[in-house]
Structure 1
């Protein structure tokens, strides 16, 4: 006959073993990752000027363009939905610094001045072109020919301080007449000023210029021979949000590895960045 005390002892031991296994199993479960620090939980809000094709614009009332598709792909990798906050270009930097959106993705050039206040993940190469009317007699091939002329530009563009410096140090210093710049809220308004001949030439992003020529080949012409002020374009993140910066950087790295970034850039004929380009942009904002 079985000893009841031995049976009870065996049951208790089995129960203790089961409890220990359950505890060990629980401790081996991977910890849930903390949600990324975004303004709206589960959503990446993107500040973008949706008047700037082919980078960002509205198509049938919905955001479209390279920057839009790029950020949608990044958001998906971060397991976030994406929301685009239409903001005029000149207000994008003040907008992110005021916490109106999590990131800026809007053909934003990476400059030393901007790196002092924002952190960047570079994702495209860019530069500027000179656009004139097809029948214009003034056909500048570079900045040296802009002395004494009226140049139109979108407000807040990174090339404006460079153009002013060139005007002061070269044009005015050599008695050639200063470069007069007129700024407008949107690129479309600059082009309209060119059409009305209230400016001599439009200073604009080279990709945007190429897109315009596709639509209106008989109306406009790019006369500059080389890219003026070549630069990198980057996603801007507030320096206070280091976790988000790291996550976006990692997501972009994975897009480069799996070929989805290259495929998207090819579809839009955008010049891609190299490892050296990315490494050249260091986070200097505190």
Structure 2
């Protein structure tokens, strides 16, 4: 009996040790992690020289490395991320997705990995100074994003112009077919910094948290993601990624 107990204890110790080793994939983490994104939202995710780049891309690649797996990317329109995840087209989605009560009813989210929020973008020459100035005017938003519901619920006097891609949203403002755009703060600031003729209104509209979406029927994957996120925050990897893309200290 003592020998049996000793063997059992030894096996448990070995299992615990190997599970804790970096680069050892958990049985619940697939060898190839299928991840979806809408790579049209710089600096979070975008195409650069024929490859995906951005804050979210670097975060996911770092998480996958820590989990002992590799990423197989799927490009899809933002509005298709949650439906595609539920339909098992991929294992996870990262694409500057705000964690909302509505989305949390149908998918799970990993612990928040960055804080953002909605802002309004207008042309530099526009007289618009506040959201109230946009009442009775046209504002472009991307289909499937929180911007749509935010305007509907808080500024019903604004005419929403819903488009499929971020670039369309910004282009409508640029050519004067929309008086402004409501989008995520990182993308708006990036555009204003890199494309002359735009500015972001001073007052941030909301404060949100970005999350990686996973299916509710795979709690082990969510646990693995959370553990990996904690590790890259502890070892400085996350801080380096934040500094690379935002030039600021990690949150």
Name the TM-score, length of structure 2 as normaliser.
0.87
Alpha carbons of 1:238 and 1:273: their partners in 2 closer, same or farther (altered >3 Å)?
farther
Instruction: Verify: 1:200 aligned to 2:188, yes or no.
Output: no
2: CA distance between counterparts of 1:271 and 1:241? 34
The residue number in structure 2 matching 1:51 is 40
The residue number in structure 2 matching 1:248 is 225
1:189 CA displacement: 0.7
Which of 103, 112, 130 is the matching residue for 2:120?
Answer: 130
CA RMSD of aligned residues (A): 2.4
The residue number in structure 1 matching 2:76 is 87
The residue number in structure 2 matching 1:190 is 169
Unaligned runs of 5+ in 1: 1-19, 169-177, 275-286
Q: Aligned residues, how many?
A: 238
Which of 236, 243, 247 is the matching residue for 1:259?
Answer: 236
- Maintained 8 Å contact 1:36/1:243: no
Alpha carbons of 1:150 and 1:92: their partners in 2 closer, same or farther (altered >3 Å)?
same
The residue number in structure 2 matching 1:106 is 95
Which of 51, 60, 63 is the matching residue for 1:71?
Answer: 60
1: CA distance between counterparts of 2:232 and 2:213? 18
1: CA distance between counterparts of 2:82 and 2:248? 24
Alpha carbons of 1:60 and 1:107: their partners in 2 closer, same or farther (altered >3 Å)?
same
1: CA distance between counterparts of 2:98 and 2:51? 24
1:131 CA displacement: 1.2
Instruction: Verify: 1:163 aligned to 2:163, yes or no.
Output: no
The residue number in structure 2 matching 1:175 is none
2: CA distance between counterparts of 1:228 and 1:132? 14
Which of 165, 190, 199 is the matching residue for 1:211?
Answer: 190
1:44 CA displacement: 1.1
Alpha carbons of 1:35 and 1:216: their partners in 2 closer, same or farther (altered >3 Å)?
same
1:35 CA displacement: 4.6
- Maintained 8 Å contact 1:44/1:102: yes
